[in-house]
Amino acid sequence: MASLYPLKVVTPERTVWHGEAQFLVTRSTEGEIGILAHHVQLITPLVSHIMQITDAQGAVRRLHVAGGFLEVGPDQVVVLADAAEFPEEIDRERAEAARQRARSRLDNPGPEVDRRRAELALIRAENRLKLVQGH
């Protein structure tokens, strides 16, 4: 059996997931990273992506993480996410509406449009929709 480590995924509002993990795949600003037990300690910023957790039983859970930080410590791994949600928590219609709003802002930018913010909103909406659709 693979070595296990305590993993927590938290947002400012709640603990999204807490348990023993075998493997974590996440995406930092430097690229994708996999975390196994006894990984070197690190702190790195995260980008909006679909994170994958392999739990103690070998089940794989996927969730959307909208930025934040990953902290790998000597005794546990913590994902401090700006927002995080599992597919069953995502409202598909709301995510689609957010994607359309972001695309509209990018396609028809006015002087008041923050282009970077619209790009990030589009990435987040598209990741949420991919997760709900099982991609």
Question: Please, what is the average pLDDT of the chain?
Answer: 93
In this prediction the pTM is 0.85
41 confidence band (pLDDT: 50, 70, 90): very high
Of 47, 62, 85, the residue at which a domain comes to its end is 85
Indicate whether 73 and 105 sit together in one domain.
Answer: no
Average pLDDT over residues 7-17: 98
The CATH number covering residue 44 comes to 2.60.15.10
CA angle 38, 42, 47 (to 5 degrees): 115
- pLDDT digit string, tens, across residues 71-100: 999 999 999 999 999 999 999 999 999 999
pLDDT value of residue 1: 61
Average pLDDT over residues 20-49: 97
Q: Which long-range contacts (CB under 8 A, 24 or more apart) does 114-123 make?
A: 120/48, 123/48
113 confidence band (pLDDT: 50, 70, 90): confident
The CATH number covering residue 101 comes to 1.20.5.440
Q: How far apart are CA 80 and CA 84, in angstroms?
A: 9
State the total domains in the chain: 2
Rg from Cα positions in the chain: 16
Most confident range, picked from 59-63, 89-93, 99-103 = 59-63
With a cut of 70, say whether residue 135 has pLDDT above it: no
Domain housing 19: 5-85
Indicate whether 75 and 129 sit together in one domain.
Answer: no
